[in-house]
Structure 1
Amino acid sequence: MAASAHPSITARSTPALPAGRHHSKAFVGVPLVLGICYGLYAAFLTSNNGASNTRIMVESFVGGAVVAVLCFAVAAVQSRLPRELRGAAYGVLFGCAMGYLLSLSDETWLKSVFLGLFLGAAMGVIVFYVRYTRET
């Protein structure tokens, strides 16, 4: 018998994939771990200033949650951004996060702002350089 007589034998059967987009474990895990680490460090800095337990918990949970959500958001849109905007997005996120941590350590707001701007600009340049040299 010819192979065309039995289409079920020769037909390739592939499982149907769900319509949703699939993300790796790192897509969710990395922002989650960054948020937890950020929240723990924010709690450490706040507790060194003699703050109440309530303030320590609020600043650590809110800070960690905001960082985790923003990291997740940047990771979700990074593939659609040109390398300049990708560098700017990572720079803004990193600069704001580091500036806020510095403000928790009882530094002046001016020092926090300038160090956040410097670190954010450095991160933006680094991300741009890495994407510029590695894209094909």
Structure 2
Amino acid sequence: MQAQTTVPARHHGRSEWRVPVWLGMLFGLWAAGIDRTHGASEVGATVLGLVGAAVVAVLCYVLHREQPRLEREARAGAYGVLFGAAMGYLLSLSGSTLLKASLWGLMFAGIMAAVSFYVFYTREV
């Protein structure tokens, strides 16, 4: 008689939001800190941080939910685009020119896409 193995059910709910919320909070605090350092008002920096946190948290959550439906290459590209856009935006807040922030964002996107693809390629069955 064989032992029956069961695959644990994927739990949806609060635990699924944990990582996206933490990433959003980290991004929002970072964005607000940069904005405040560069002369924005306390209220303006706080609003920017809250909006940035909400946007990043929702995008991370949506990507996490949709990733099983994506091919390995598309999934790696999506992670790269999200990370590159976030880092490029933070660089633009810090006073970098649009061109410099865009080029750094593209570089970060390419690196993240390559690393993500490697992880997905070597870890999937």
TM-score by length of 2: 0.88
The answer to whether structure 1 residue 70 and structure 2 residue 67 are counterparts is: no
Sequence identity (%): 51
The answer to whether structure 1 residue 42 and structure 2 residue 50 are counterparts is: no
Partner of 2:48: 59
Task: Please state how far the C-alpha of 1:131 moved relative to its aligned partner.
Answer: 0.6
Deviations 1:10-64 (A, max 9, x none): xxxxxxxxxxx73265421000010011100111100110111222012111111
Structure (1 or 2) with the larger CA radius of gyration:
1
Residue 21 of structure 2 aligns with an amino acid whose one-letter code is L
Paired positions, count: 116
RMSD: 1.3
Partner of 1:99: 88
TM-score by length of 1: 0.81
Partner of 1:27: 16
Residue ranges of structure 2 left out of the alignment (5+ in a row): 1-9
The answer to whether structure 1 residue 119 and structure 2 residue 125 are counterparts is: no
Residue 125 of structure 1 aligns with an amino acid whose one-letter code is A
SS at match of 1:63: helix
Residue 32 of structure 2 aligns with an amino acid whose one-letter code is A
Structure 1 residue runs of 4 or more that deviate by more than 3 Å after TM superposition:
none
Mapping 1:73-84, distance limit 5 Å = 73-84=62-73
